[in-house]
Amino acid sequence: MAADQLSVTFAALADPTRRAILARVAQGEATVMELAEPFRLKLPTVSKHLKVLRRAGLITQGRQAQWRPCRLEPAPLKDVADWVERYREIWEERMGQLSDYLRQLQDKEETDGSEE
Amino acid sequence: MAADQLSVTFAALADPTRRAILARVAQGEATVMELAEPFRLKLPTVSKHLKVLRRAGLITQGRQAQWRPCRLEPAPLKDVADWVERYREIWEERMGQLSDYLRQLQDKEETDGSEE
DNA sequence: CTCATAGTTTCCTATGCAGCTAATTAGCTA
DNA sequence: TAGCTAATTAGCTGCATAGGAAACTATGAG
């Protein structure tokens, strides 16, 4: 995998389990067990997902007794948002055209189609 | 890799070469040769990058004689933007706290620091 | 010290991608 | 038809990851 930060972040997000973990952690801190519970995954597997998220800077893990509570670190998500924002103009323009096209189709149908 | 659309999109974006290709294609259609030129990559390598982007629905390739012009398809980018948008509130709040903290530091410095 | 709990690390297999070269397909031209 | 150009596919190596089992570390309770 490429070493640059954005690539690492995208790679970390390219897994539904990890995105679900982020969604859970966004609600508040959670232990590894709590994170593992919704998925039918063994602890080591979840632990490795967390490692990927940690390397991407998307979470940090503290220490409270034998627990390692996970906390969301949203900075890389802002980077993603900033990156994708550059394309907003393009998709809004194209989606607009698509809407126009669909509207045309509909108009056409209403014109030469049977009303009722 | 996970099969769901968003995961495939994120995986496709997790490579600086592919993001550069997208940036180039955003300027307008381009042939595979034109896309390969800025990178010191062989055509087959670029061709495979395009395959990944195509599978993610980020580009389509037409046919004009022996050229396969690439065109950006921004819909998956909108999906990414929609996904990341859910976290905006969190990072704005946190970044806000960070700004506050930095401002406090600065104030403190100005208070007990030597004003020249 | 001993045991239990929470997590991590190590080792395994399988899969997928990044890069290359060589071979192949698709379309134009002479 | 042969030959040229554009692009893809096939086959290769090397590396990263997803998943699991087993072993190890770290902390707290008795």
Residue B81 belongs to a domain: no
Q: Same domain, yes or no, for A69 and A108?
A: no
Q: A90, B7: Cβ pair inside 8 Å?
A: no
pLDDT tens digit sequence for A24-65:
999 999 999 999 988 888 999 999 999 999 999 999 999 888
Distance between CA atoms of A9 and A58, rounded to whole angstroms?
8
Neighbours of A46 (CB within 10 A): 19
Neighbours of B5 (CB within 10 A): 13
Q: Same domain, yes or no, for B17 and B72?
A: yes
Q: Same domain, yes or no, for A55 and A101?
A: no
Give the model's pLDDT for residue B1.
64
The CATH number that applies at residue A53 is 1.10.10.10
Phi first, then psi: what are they for A81, rounded to 5°? -60, -45
Which of B4, B15, B77 is closest, CB to CB, to A91?
Answer: B77
Instruction: Evaluate if residue A109 carries a pLDDT over 70.
Output: no
Q: Same domain, yes or no, for A14 and A67?
A: yes
Query: Could you tell me whether strands B59-61 and B70-72 are parallel, antiparallel, or unpaired per DSSP bridges?
Result: antiparallel
Residue A81 belongs to a domain: no
Domain that holds residue A114: 86-116
Q: Same domain, yes or no, for A56 and A27?
A: yes
Residue B19 belongs to a domain: yes
Instruction: Evaluate if residue A99 carries a pLDDT over 50.
Output: yes
Residue A45 belongs to a domain: yes
Q: What is the mean pLDDT of each run of 10 residues along chain B (116 residues)?
A: 87 96 95 92 94 95 87 95 96 79 69 41
Residue B24 belongs to a domain: yes
Longest Cα separation, chain A: 73
Q: Same domain, yes or no, for A98 and A116?
A: yes
CB < 7 A contacts with chain D (nucleic strand): A 1, 11, 15, 17-18, 40-42, 44-45, 48-49, 52, 63, 65-66; B 31-33, 43-44, 46-48, 50-51, 61, 66-69
Query: What is residue A116's three-state secondary structure?
Result: coil
Residue B51 belongs to a domain: yes
Q: B6, A15: Cβ pair inside 8 Å?
A: no
Q: Same domain, yes or no, for A68 and A11?
A: yes
Distance between CA atoms of B110 and B106, rounded to whole angstroms?
6
Which residues, in sequence order, are CB contacts of B38 under 8 Å at separation 6+?
A: B20, B24
Neighbours of A35 (CB within 10 A): 23
Q: Same domain, yes or no, for B13 and B52?
A: yes
Q: How many domains does chain A have?
A: 2
Q: For residues A20 and A58, is the Cβ–Cβ distance under 8 A? A: no
In one letter, which amino acid is A98? L
